[in-house]
Amino acid sequence: MIDVAILGFGTVGSGVADVLTENVKKIKRSSTVELNVKYIVDIRDFPESVYADKMVKDFRVVESDPDVKVVVETIGGTGVAFDFTKRALSAGKSVVTSNKELVATHGYELLTLAKKNNVNYLFEASVGGGIPILRPISQCLAGNDISEVFGILNGTTNYVLTQMIENNVEFDDALRQAQKLGYAEADPTADIEGLDACRKICILATLCFGKHIYPQYVPAEGITRVTLDDVAFADKIGYKIKLLGRAVKGKDDKIIPYVAAHLLPKKRLLANVSDVMNGIVVKGNAVGEVMFYGPGAGKLPTASAVAADVIDAAKHIGMSKLLFWEDGDAETVGSTDELVSQWYVRAKCQSDEAAASFGTISVVGSVGDELVFTTEPVSGAAFREKAEALQVQAAFRIMV
Ligand code: HSE
């Protein structure tokens, strides 16, 4: 019997408690390991909870109990969660988490600490919610030289965009619905400004390319500039607007990661990933293009990924799994300036002004005093230069 402690009894933590107590005993294929949720640590009181007898407020109870071999961190953020994770690993306990902010910011340091203590730090749930993606990249696709990874990495913004595209719902109303459904971060700014997707593309890029990519070096834009008019114009020319995280192998072994809204051709599989679903595409030189699809947020899908890591950690007590990468820095990251694409532009200008800057353009329409047009393929650097003379209100890359 392996004792487990859960830190944080929020949406994900309570889902993990349910899955570990209800499901794991039913699942024959996991039966080589018997799990017992011994403690749930939270500073709040939950007298009505079925887990009331497991609740403790003091992390030291977990830290000092040698029977607890696996700790689940579902607190979130990089404050207390970071402190407790370091202390648990140092006390010889494996840690499993869904905390993408912590993995993206301190993953290298925490993996180093785990290795030193011959325990594991596992975080399958940190990207793509319930989608198995990190193990497939690090194990099943290990034989590939990966050139690019990109995808819809945030369930909240995908839900909001889907509501705008399919039901003409205003941005704020759609976001409120996503919050009610338990998809959004505690502070939804992290979703809509692209920070959550940024943390996730950092983790994916780190795994795909083997060096830690830190979020502070990654340009990230969210969906706050996307209007119902943009959605309608994109539709008119055969595209859907999606927020993508993307990382491309660039020149001189640099990795070019970024987060931004893109126009995707409607026929592309990824364009049809709707609502809270996520879709992640990996391009490898042997496999070609593979896509992973599934629920990217929500209590039980995320708990599903956490529970799998708990089972894995419990099966590997005393064995540090071979998940590791090199540290990285600002030099690891290349600039989006070198990435070439067509652009969708909404700017306060006349069509002759837009053509004077960009040469050949294709006018899509206008809204008020704003012209909407698409450009020929240009690099990020050239785009910035050409757009300087125009009052650009929104500009999105167009994917082929
Ligand atoms: N707020 C995140 C999302 C939760 O919407 O994708 C899952 O990481």
pLDDT value of position 321: 75
Cβ of 124 closer than 6 Å to ligand 1, yes or no, is no
pLDDT value of position 110: 98
pLDDT value of position 30: 64
**What is the share, in percent, of the chain residues with pLDDT greater than 90?**
94
Q: For residue 144, with 0-12 CB atoms within 10 Å meaning exposed, 13-18 middle and 19 or more buried, which class applies? A: middle
**pLDDT tens figures, 375-399:** 999 999 999 999 998 999 999 999 9
**Closest atom of ligand 1 to CA, residue 154:** 6
Helix, strand, coil shares, percent, the chain, to 5: 40, 25, 30
Given a cut of 90, whether residue 186 has pLDDT beyond it is no
**What is the share, in percent, of the chain residues with pLDDT greater than 70?**
99
Tell me the pLDDT band of 26, cut-offs 50, 70 and 90.
Answer: confident
Q: Give, for 109, the enclosing helix (H) or strand (E).
A: helix 100-116
Stronger pLDDT, 28 or 253, i.e. the higher one: 253
pLDDT value of position 31: 63
Give yes or no for a contact between 218 and 257, defined as CB atoms under 8 angstroms apart. Answer: yes
Given a cut of 70, whether residue 38 has pLDDT beyond it is yes
As given in the structure block, the two tokens for residue 344 are 């969708």
Mean pLDDT of 164-184: 94
**Tokens 């959004």, residue?**
184
Q: Which of 239, 267, 279, 276 is nearest to 397 (CA)?
A: 239
**Closest atom of ligand 1 to CA, residue 184:** 1
pLDDT value of position 23: 86
Ligand 1 centroid to Cα of residue 341, in Å, is: 28
Mean pLDDT of 132-140: 96
Residue ranges of E strands in 153-254: 239-249
**Closest atom of ligand 1 to CA, residue 158:** 5
Q: CA quadruple 326, 329, 332, 335: dihedral positive or negative?
A: positive
Mean pLDDT of 139-145: 96
pTM: 0.97
**pLDDT tens figures, 211-247:** 999 999 999 999 999 999 999 999 999 999 999 999 9
pLDDT value of position 325: 95
Tell me the pLDDT band of 314, cut-offs 50, 70 and 90.
Answer: very high
**Active-site positions?**
200
pLDDT value of position 174: 95
**pLDDT tens figures, 324-369:** 899 999 999 999 999 999 999 999 999 999 999 999 999 999 999 9
Tell me the pLDDT band of 201, cut-offs 50, 70 and 90.
Answer: very high
Cβ of 12 closer than 6 Å to ligand 1, yes or no, is no
Mean residue pLDDT across the chain: 96
Report the residue among 98, 127, 196, 243 best suited for mutation to probe ligand 1: largest number of ligand atoms under 8 A from its CB: 196
Q: Give, for 157, the enclosing helix (H) or strand (E).
A: helix 155-167
Measured CA to CA, the distance from residue 141 to residue 185 in angstroms comes to: 30
Measured CA to CA, the distance from residue 383 to residue 387 in angstroms comes to: 6
Given a cut of 70, whether residue 282 has pLDDT beyond it is yes
Mean pLDDT of 46-68: 97
